[in-house]
Amino acid sequence: MVFVYLYKKIQMAITLALQQNTYTDDCTQGTINDITADYGTGGNPDRVDLDIFIFIEKINLETGNGNILPNSYSIGSDTSFTFPLGEDGWYKFKAIAAERWDIATSYTINQVISRSETLYICTTDNTGEDPVSTTGFWEEPSDAQIILITENPATYSTNAVVLDKIVICYSQVCFEDMVINQSINGCMCDPKNNSFIDKMEVELNAARIADAQSKFMQGEKSVRAMNDICQNFECDEC
């Protein structure tokens, strides 16, 4: 989806894009990348001419949502962002690309800009009113406004994107550990048919599909469920 916004009075069209990339081996940290292809093309500003703000939300349908702070990054140049990964589940990664405040630019209500590494929304039409030193013209967006900006970027004369992602890092590690443990304990079936592994994969894939469809996995419940499968699993052919 392409959104059109103003950058120093020049018409721009950038398709902002995020991609969830990797996890550390111990599943304590994940990485998302800015893979936007059209920085610096067709008259668009380069990455270094925009400030990117990253917001991460962990969706918990039973206990309420929670915000997660990404690890420290440069809003003016970085294209890779790391974040602490506390548990499996449904995450929303949000990015807002904002132009930097310019003293000679005329701003209108709801326009989003960046100033001194902070995001601001224009509350009153103005020219030359510094968000840092003046009052009544700008405000920092609330969590609710961040959601509105990322879901309706054109309304705020900016560009934004939301990446929905089901994270199953802990489940994957748990599954791998189970296979290794079963092999060590001598419960690995005939390698010619791999009955044990096949059955475990069926169980895990079924859980993944259910979680992806519902966009919900209650964190460590996923890991406990995999452990339960391991403990209760009987390899009929061993």
CATH number at residue 155: 2.60.40.10
Count of beta carbons in the 10 Å neighbourhood of residue 40: 12
pLDDT band (50, 70, 90) for residue 229: low
114 assigned to some structural domain: no
Count of beta carbons in the 10 Å neighbourhood of residue 139: 14
pLDDT tens digits along 179-208: 666 555 555 445 545 566 666 666 666 665
Q: Which amino acid is at 72?
A: S
Looking at the fold, whether 223 and 162 belong to one and the same domain comes out as no
120 assigned to some structural domain: no
Q: What is the pLDDT of residue 197?
A: 63
Q: What is the pLDDT of residue 77?
A: 96
Looking at the fold, whether 161 and 192 belong to one and the same domain comes out as no
What the block records as the tokens of 221 is 């419940």
Looking at the fold, whether 84 and 160 belong to one and the same domain comes out as yes
54: left (phi over 0), alpha (psi -120 to 50) or beta: beta
37 assigned to some structural domain: yes
Position 7 pLDDT exceeds 60: no
Mean pLDDT calculated for residue range 21-37:
91
Looking at the fold, whether 75 and 162 belong to one and the same domain comes out as yes
What domain range includes position 15?
A: 3-101+141-166
Q: What is the pLDDT of residue 10?
A: 37
Position 157 pLDDT exceeds 80: yes
115 assigned to some structural domain: no
- 3-state helix/strand/coil string of 151-190: HCHHHHCCEEEEEEEEECHHHHHHHHHHHHHHHHCCCCCC
Position 22 pLDDT exceeds 90: no
180 assigned to some structural domain: yes
Q: State the total domains in the chain.
A: 2
Looking at the fold, whether 162 and 219 belong to one and the same domain comes out as no
Q: What is the pLDDT of residue 107?
A: 97
Looking at the fold, whether 42 and 147 belong to one and the same domain comes out as yes
pLDDT band (50, 70, 90) for residue 162: very high
Mean pLDDT calculated for residue range 208-236:
52
Looking at the fold, whether 180 and 197 belong to one and the same domain comes out as yes
Looking at the fold, whether 69 and 181 belong to one and the same domain comes out as no
CA–CA gap between residue 29 and residue 221 (Å, rounded): 19
Spatial contact of 81 and 31, defined as CB atoms under 8 Å apart:
yes
197 assigned to some structural domain: yes
Strand partners, 91: 58, 165
Share in percent of the chain as helix, strand, coil (round to 5): 25, 30, 40
Between 169 and 201, the higher pLDDT residue: 169
pLDDT tens digits along 66-123: 899 999 999 999 999 999 988 877 889 999 999 999 999 999 999 999 999 999 999 9
Q: What is the pLDDT of residue 168?
A: 77
pLDDT tens digits along 129-147: 999 999 999 999 999 999 9
Position 216 pLDDT exceeds 80: no
Question: End of a domain among 125, 149, 166?
Answer: 166
Count of beta carbons in the 10 Å neighbourhood of residue 63: 9
